[in-house]
Structure 1
Amino acid sequence: MIIYCAGPIKGDTTFQKFYLEIINFVESEGHTPLTELGVEHTPTNPLTDIQIYKRDLKWIDGSNIMIAEVSGPSLGVGFEIAYALYHKKMPVLALANNRVENVSAMITGCDSHLLTVAKYVEVEELKEIIRLYIKELKT
């Protein structure tokens, strides 16, 4: 399965280590993670904003599902989630660390049947949520 992994790159990166865990776990489970974060996608010449925008939308269009780390505020992640839900109409798993009290109401208040919001405490719980989510989608 091709999975677009979304997380803050320029915004609040407090929980970026969990974003990396998501990417690594998706790959370890035999799926293909598409993400801006990571050495394999770092171009020699930096991309322009337009190139990043087009690339990311192309990656979302080519994905089966999206998994997003939403613990820290990020306009980009919010845009990507909205695009996935309302343009691509694909399932999105939004994950927030349990220490975060105020996840964006635009995520937690969204009533799309394609959006699943879950909270995690530790890395192992994060992985189990992802594992079960993917298993549920396959059935």
Structure 2
Amino acid sequence: MITTTFLVEIDSNIPMVLLGDDHKIRQILVNLVGNAIKFTNNGEINIAAALIPDEKKLDFIRISFTVRDTGIGIPTDKINGLFHSFNHMHPQGYEEMNRGTGLGLSIYKRFTELMDGRIWLAGTSEKGSTFTFEIKLPALSQE
């Protein structure tokens, strides 16, 4: 039996209304969560959104999104190539499991860069993976 627990945490400091490219943000999250589901037969998947404090910048805010799973993990020797275009490596680093989703990570890297952000991975083989991306969004007046 497959038993996977989901935990979603949203920082209460994130404004209720944001101005940004919701389509791109949704695509990134759906892809990362989909991969976590695919490679976590038993365990946990945690999804978190947090405001990154920066009191010096009043014209924009930064938000980080993290998708962490306790699935099969990614071999450390495969991590560096995950975000490169034309990489036929599966997002979890296993060539024999390639289902055509490896190109997505290079696209999502570009999406985050277009939002003045970045995406990265911390993971170890057989201990799960943690993908995080940060984006910059215009700050809306709270008046």
TM-score normalised according to structure 2 size: 0.28
Name the one with the larger strand percent: 2
Structure holding more helix per residue: 1
For the pair shown, the structure with the greater C-alpha radius of gyration is: 2
